[in-house]
Chains A and B, each alone.
Chain A
């Protein structure tokens, strides 16, 4: 079963605008990761935030984590047409530290030039 729920399911913006995607999860976690997928194939890791962190930055990406609300958000600033892709959050469980990831359903982002 999928743990994460993401919203919106689809997002369409103009180049230069910011894009915000949200992810909610149900159980305790060790960390939460965001991945990007182009054309329905392999995923690329974007950023990881640990359960004891609240915010993290990487280039134009900003991730926040609120463990009390079991939610995370991914912000892409100054979007580019090349950012068009599907974005997935994935959680690694809090017990046993298995390394297994549970993925959300994803947000499809379209950035119009």
Chain B
């Protein structure tokens, strides 16, 4: 089946504008994760959705960042009033239910965000 997809693949915006990034996880995957990766750096955890549980938002860097997920499908990451330091690749990943025994995450290709 299809893997994790993200859109857009590239986004250029002006400082102060809002942006929405979309992630379509693998069908049947109950967990969904957002990460940020600055140039030449490792991945920085942002937020984690698991089924109907309250999301783990502990990685969101500021209140300008928010994310939603509709059931066990699409998620959107919204960044309000973008700043230049928000420029990064935003990666989404999904994983199978815990009952499957698999702990590995499947990553999308990412959205490269550039804030001018």
Interface residues of A (CB under 8 A from B): 2, 4, 30-31, 33, 35, 40-45, 48, 88, 90, 92, 97-106
Closest residue on chain B to residue A106 by CB atoms: B42
Give the docked Cα–Cα distance between A103 and B44 (Å): 7
Take A4-B42, A40-B89, A88-B42 as given contacts and tell me if A99 and B95 are in contact as well, using a CB distance cutoff of 8 Å: yes
Once the chains bind, are A99 and B42 in contact (CB under 8 Å)? no
Q: Which secondary structure characterizes the binding site on chain B?
A: strand
Known: A40-B89, A99-B103. 13 other contacts (CB 8 A): A4-B42, A31-B103, A40-B110, A42-B4, A42-B108, A43-B91, A48-B104, A90-B43, A99-B48, A100-B56, A101-B105, A103-B45, A105-B42
Q: Contacting B109 at CB < 8 Å: which of A42, A88, A92?
A: A42
Complex Cα spacing A71 to B61, Å: 28
Those 4 A-B pairs whose CB atoms lie nearest each other, nearest first: A103-B43, A42-B107, A45-B104, A105-B42
How extensive is the interface on chain B, given as a class? 20 to 34
Measured in the bound complex, the distance between the Cα atoms of B4 and A51 in whole Å is 28
Chain A residues near B82: list those with CB within 8 A.
none
| Structural contact, B103 and A48, CB atoms closer than 8 A | yes
Please, what's the 1-or-0 string for B67-104, where 1 marks a CB less than 8 Å from any CB in chain A? 00000000000000000000001010101001000011
- The distance in angstroms between the C-alpha atoms of A43 and B35, with both chains bound, is 11
- Which residues of chain A come closer than 8 Å to B56, judged between CB atoms? 98, 100
Q: Is B21 an interface residue (CB 8 A)?
A: no
B33 within 8 A of A: yes
In the complex, A99→B97 CA distance in Å? 10
| CB atoms of A2 and B44 under 8 A apart | yes
Cα-based distance from A88 to B4 in the complex (angstroms): 19
B109: A residues at CB distance < 8 A: 41-42
